[in-house]
Amino acid sequence: MIRVGEHLVRGAVVDAQTRCAHYRTSLDVVAMRFHCCGEWYPCVHCHDEAAGHPRTVWPAAQAGAVAALCGVCAHGMSVAEYRVATECPGCGAAFNPRCALHQSLYFE
């Protein structure tokens, strides 16, 4: 567990920029707030291993909810903003483009 800005990021976190045991390349610097519990985790695997409850995805109607966090600068992003981002709007840190392949695990 680490603190990123005012947010506590749970799970198998391995560094201060929210990389985890599952995803730890230089581009894996985003934590997600899960719809089901409101808690921040580096990835779906960290949530599933630690949360103790089934995960739910963010409904399309809640695209304005802050659900992504840059691990470099702690900038929060809405679902809609994160879904199209290739880098952090706050600091310009590049995001892993392969994360887009997993969006259905987080968002409707």
pTM of the model: 0.95
Q: What is the pLDDT of residues 35-89, one digit of tens each?
A: 999 999 999 999 999 999 999 999 999 999 999 999 999 999 999 999 999 999 9
pLDDT of residue 14: 86
**Can you spell out the DSSP letters for 36-100?**
TT--EESSHHHHHHHSSS---PBPGGGTTSEEEEETTT--EEEHHHHHH-SB-TTT-PBPPGGGG
